[in-house]
Amino acid sequence: MDIAHKVLEKIKSEKLSPKPRWQFLLKDEFLKVSFIILLIIGGISFSVMFYILFDRDWQFLSRGRLDLVDELLFALPYFWIIVLILFVGVAFYNFRHTQTGYKHKGYLIILISFFGSVLLGFFLFTFGAGQIFDKMLADNFPHFDYRAKYINHMWGRPQEGMLAGKILEIKDGKLLILNDLGNEIWQVDYNKARIAPHFELKPEELVRIWGDEQENHFIKAKEIFPLEPPCPFRSCPLGSKSGFEEMKERIIFMRIKN
């Protein structure tokens, strides 16, 4: 008996039949849809990264107070970078395993996935998705509250003249009473300080202060800015003062833990 006959016999005896077409179509469609979903997740990662990067006080690097490499390493949102690499990697794998995915050059698929995520990320960022997802992550997993960590790291060192907090009171038009991120009370002399343009000092306002610590809990301010940097486009839909109290609680908790 020749091979072809043996195969037909086996098909008959084992009652084999072709698997239905929908199974293969479903698998291919699943891979394509998951590729798109993974790109969207990559885009979300980028939108948060854009939000975080726009939020950093890069102007202080040029003033020689900070080390560029240290600050850059601290500023990176590692969680979102890992999410991005992971999802672009899985997106690449899925695309490669579609019926015709192998025909395309691997580096091109990765570049398209990467730049697709960047573009989508920027688009989402301009509509405020970055802030929303950053806040969602921070609310659910306080360990990943990059903003609180950053604010604490950058503006929680009064001994270096860098302080952030909420204005409680303004005395005589030259002294601020400030409740800082660690819930301590400071007096800030802003008599000779440069105030950020279009920014009015008033109680309840959240501020960053750059100056010199004179003595215990007293700072002579050189510059005062709002705590939240201006949001480009509509990238802060939650408002600039959103979640300040929660952030303060997390910072106090972080300080106790450390």
Partner 1 sequence: MKEKRQKTRIKNMTDFTKKTDEELCQLSLENQAAFYELMKRYENKFLSYILRLGQFSKEDAEDILQEVYIKIYTNLNAFNKDLKFSSWGYRIAHNEVISQFRKNKNKFLVHLEDEDWQNLRQEFDLDKEITKKIDNEIIAKILEKMDIKYKEVLILKFLEDKSYEEISDILKKPMGTIATLINRAKKQFKKIYKQSELSKDNRF
Q: Where are the alpha helices (DSSP H) in the chain?
A: 3-13, 21-55, 68-75, 78-96, 106-126, 129-140, 146-155, 244-257
Q: What are the tokens at 164?
A: 């952030």
Q: Is 21 in the site for partner 1 (CB under 8 A)?
A: yes
Phi and psi at residue 201, in whole multiples of 5°?
-80, 125
Beta bridge partners of 209: 163, 224
Closest CA relative to residue 211, chosen from 176, 183, 179:
176
Identified binder of partner 1 from the candidate list 1, 4, 69, 256, rule CB under 8 A = 4
Q: How far is the CB of 18 from partner 1 (least distance, A)?
A: 4
Q: How far is the CB of 36 from partner 1 (least distance, A)?
A: 21
Q: How far is the CB of 112 from partner 1 (least distance, A)?
A: 14
Contact between 221 and 198 under an 8 Å Cβ cutoff? The reply is no
Residue 58 C-alpha from the chain's centroid: 16
Q: Is 24 in the site for partner 1 (CB under 8 A)?
A: yes
- Nearby residues of 45 by Cβ (< 8 Å), 6 or more positions away: 80, 81, 83, 84, 87, 117, 121
Q: Is 26 in the site for partner 1 (CB under 8 A)?
A: no
Q: Is 15 in the site for partner 1 (CB under 8 A)?
A: no
Q: How far is the CB of 90 from partner 1 (least distance, A)?
A: 18
| CA gap 175, 182 in Å, rounded | 20
The residue whose two tokens read 């004179």 is 214
Could you say which residues in the range 35-54 bind partner 1, by CB under 8 A? Answer: none
Stretch in the footprint of partner 1 (CB under 8 A) among 21-29, 67-75, 149-157, 163-171: 21-29
CB closer to partner 1 out of 3 and 256: 3
| CA gap 23, 231 in Å, rounded | 48
Q: How far is the CB of 1 from partner 1 (least distance, A)?
A: 11
Residue 100-119 contact track with partner 1, rule CB under 8 A, x = bound: x-xxxxx-------------
Identified binder of partner 1 from the candidate list 1, 3, 69, 256, rule CB under 8 A = 3
Q: How far is the CB of 30 from partner 1 (least distance, A)?
A: 14
In the complex, which residues of this chain contact partner 1 (CB under 8 A)?
Answer: 2-8, 10-11, 16-21, 23-24, 99-100, 102-106
